[in-house]
Structure 1
Amino acid sequence: SDTLTSNELGFQRVIPDLVGRTRRGGTYLGVGPEQNFTYIAAVRPALAIIFDIRRGNMLVQLRYKALFELAKDRADFVSMLFSKPRPPGLGPKSTAVDLFSAFAASATSDALYEQTLKAIQNQLTKTHGLPLAADDLTGIEYVHHTFYRNGFAVRPSPTYAELMTQTDGAGVNRSYLATEDRFALLKELESKNLVVPVVGDFGGPKAIRAVGGYLKERGTTVTAFYLSNVEQYLYQNKMTAFCRNVAALPLDASSTFIRSSSRDGGGFVSSLSAMTVEVKNCGRF
C-alpha cells in the first residue's frame, strides 16, 4: 500500500531527548518516508540509510534526493515538491508556517509539474546515471503526480503542512523545513550521496547485516535507528531475527531506538530506548 507521507503527528516530541542522548556524526538508520529527514536534521549524522521492505519507498526517497539537489532553498523545494509556483516574499527567515501558508494560496501548475518531473528524471538517470527500470520511473512519476493532485493532503490526515508545522511540545518547530539550516544539512547529505535508500526486510538475513558490515569497515557507529511501528509486524515471526540483526550493528552506549506505537484513542506516540540494552536479550524473544 502507499505510504507516501508519515501519519505520526507528534513525532517531534522526542527530539529534545534524542539530541541529548546521541552524538553528532556516525550513522542514522530509519524506515519510511519524510519523517526521517526531521530526525536526520536533529541528530546530524555523517551518513543516513533508510530501509523499507517496499521498493516504492526507495522511489519516494529518490524523488526527494533529486528535489533536495535541485532546490536552492526551502521555498524552491516546496514549490517543486507540490508543483506550485513560488509565492513572493519567502526567504531565509520564513517559518514553516509562513511557507505553507503562502503556498496554500498558490495554485498548482501543469507546466511546473511537467518541468519538475523531467528535471527529477534527468537528475537521477543522467546526472547520477542510476539504472532505473521503466517501472521505477513510472513509480516516481506516480509519486510526483500524487503530490501534484492531492497537494498538502497527500495523506488526508495529517496533511504535509500539519506535519511540517508541529512542534516538539515546547513550542519549537524542529521539522526539516523549519529553518534553512536544517534544509541545508539534508541538501548537503543528499548531494554527497549520503542518504541511501535500501530495499530490505528488518527480519531478513541480508539488509541490516550487510549495512552493519559496511559500517564496521568504515569505523562508524549507529547513532539512532528510527523503527516507526515496524515491530508490530515483526512480532508475528521475525522479532528474534531482527534483534540479532541489530546486535550485529556497530553500537555504543548512545545508540538509540526511536519507536512509534499506537495509543488508546487513536494516533501514535513516539519513544526512545537504548539499543545496546535491548539487544542483550535477543534470545528471549
Structure 2
Amino acid sequence: MPVLALAVLLATSAATASEPALDAFAQLPADPAPPALIRDSHYWISNEDHLGLFHEAVKDKGGLYLGVGSDQNYLLGAWARAELLVLMDFDQSIVDLHRVYRVIFLAAETPEDFLRLWRRENRAELRRLIAEGYPDKKERAGALRALGTARGAVERRLNRVVEQMAKASLPCFLVDAAEYAHIRRLYQEDKVFMVRGDLTARRTVSAIGRAAARAGKKVGVLYLSNAEQYFPYEAKYRSNIRALPLDERSVVVRTSGQRGISHVRGTYYHYNTQSGSSFLAWLADAKTRDVRGMLRYAPGGGEVYGLSRLDIGPAEAREVMKQKLLAKRQVKRGKRTRGLFRRAGAEAVQ
C-alpha cells in the first residue's frame, strides 16, 4: 500500500477513537508488569492446535471480544463477528506484537498480502510500515523488537493455522476474504484495543468492564487460553470477572494442560466452553478454588475426547456428579451380587 494511503488509514483510525462511547477503551490503564514471565518466555504464538473445537461455541456471538495471547484472537474474533476486540496480555512484548499485526492489517487488503508481509524477504517493507505507523518512539521500538524476535515463529504458526483450518473445513481469516475483512475493518475503525493487563491484578480488567458498560456492550466471547491453570481463584480474579458484562449468551473459552482432566488426544490441552452465567455462578461458590476443580464437573463434548461444555452452576453439577457416582456403585454392587449367586450355585451343584 502507498505511504500516503496508509497514513490516511492511520489518521482515520485515530479519529474514530474520539467516539465518546469508545473513549474509555482507548484509555484503558495498564496493570504493572509482572515480576517474572512464566518459564521466562514470551509466548509469541499459540500452541493450541485444535481451536476449531471452539468454532460453534463462538460463532456470531458479536459484542465485545476479550482475549489473552496472540494470533488465536484473530481467528476466534472473526468467527465471533466481534464488534470490538480487546487484546490483553500481561507480557508487554505480546502487546507490542499486536502492534505489528495492526500495521499489517491496515496495509494488506487481502489475506494473501497479509501473509506475504510476514515473510522473511519482506522484513524491510514491514519495518518501514511500523516506522510510518508509530510516531511514538516507545511504541515503534517495541513493535520493531517484537518483529525482530517473533517474525519467523509467527510466519510458521500462521501457515500451520491455514493447514489446520483447511483440514477441519472451517473458515479462516488467513484465507477467507470475509473473515479477513471483518478483522481488518475493526482495525480501520479503531475498534481494536491493546493493553498490558493481568487477569489477577487491580486495574485493567475492571476498567474493561466499566468501558463496556459505558459503550453498552455485553461480552460475546471471553478467551482465557490456559492462563487460569497458573493461579487459584482468589478474590481479585473473582472480582475482575464479575466486573465484566457476562450473561447466559456470553461464552467463555479456555484450555487447560493440567493433570487430572482429559486432554484432546495427542495434544497438551483440554478444551472447554462455558456460558458466562455458569462461570459467574462457579466464581460465586466458595468451594470453587481453581479451574481444575471446576472442570472436573464439566460434561464431555460427545465425540471429541478432551472437549467439555459447562452451562450449569456448581450445585446442579455436583448433584449430577453425585448421581453418576451412585449409579456406578449400584452397577458394581449388582455385579458383585451376581458373582456371589453364581459361585453359590456352582458350590451347590458340587
* TM-score computed with the length of structure 2 as normaliser: 0.64
Deviations 1:176-211 (A, max 9, x none): 213011111111001111111111110111111011
Residue 226 (structure 2) aligned to one of 222, 226, 229: 229
Distance 1:252 1:75, change over 3 A: same
| Rg (Cα) greater in structure | 2
Deviations 1:10-49 (A, max 9, x none): 0112212332xx633x101000001000111111111110
* 2:154 maps to 1:117: no
Distance 1:61 1:152, change over 3 A: closer
SS in 2 for 1:280: helix
1:136-285 aligned within 5 A: 136-149=139-152, 152-153=155-156, 159-167=157-165, 171-235=168-232, 239-262=234-257, 263=263, 266-283=267-284, 284=286, 285=289
**Unpaired segments of 5 or more residues in structure 1?**
83-107, 126-130, 154-158
Cα distance between partner residues in 2 of 1:68 and 1:37: 11
Name segments (4+ residues, structure 1) moved above 4 Å.
Answer: 147-151
Distance 1:76 1:204, change over 3 A: same
> What number of residue pairs does the alignment pair up?
240
Cα RMSD (Å) of the superposition? 2.1
Cα distance between partner residues in 1 of 2:283 and 2:71: 30
8 Å Cα contact 1:50-1:196 kept in structure 2: yes
Identity of aligned residues (%): 22
Look up the equivalent residue of 1:47 and give its one-letter code.
Answer: L
In structure 2, the partner of 1:33 is 70
Distance 1:212 1:168, change over 3 A: farther
SS in 2 for 1:5: coil
Look up the equivalent residue of 2:275 and give its one-letter code.
Answer: A
* 2:96 maps to 1:59: yes
8 Å Cα contact 1:56-1:139 kept in structure 2: yes
**Unpaired segments of 5 or more residues in structure 2?**
1-40, 258-262, 290-350
How far is 1:148 from its partner? Answer: 4.8
Look up the equivalent residue of 1:137 and give its one-letter code.
Answer: R
Residue 17 (structure 1) aligned to one of 57, 69, 72: 57
Look up the equivalent residue of 2:61 and give its one-letter code.
Answer: R
Which structure has more RCO (C-alpha within 8 Å, separation ≥ 6)? 1
How far is 1:139 from its partner? Answer: 3.2
Look up the equivalent residue of 1:74 and give its one-letter code.
Answer: P
Distance 1:115 1:152, change over 3 A: closer
In structure 1, the partner of 2:29 is none
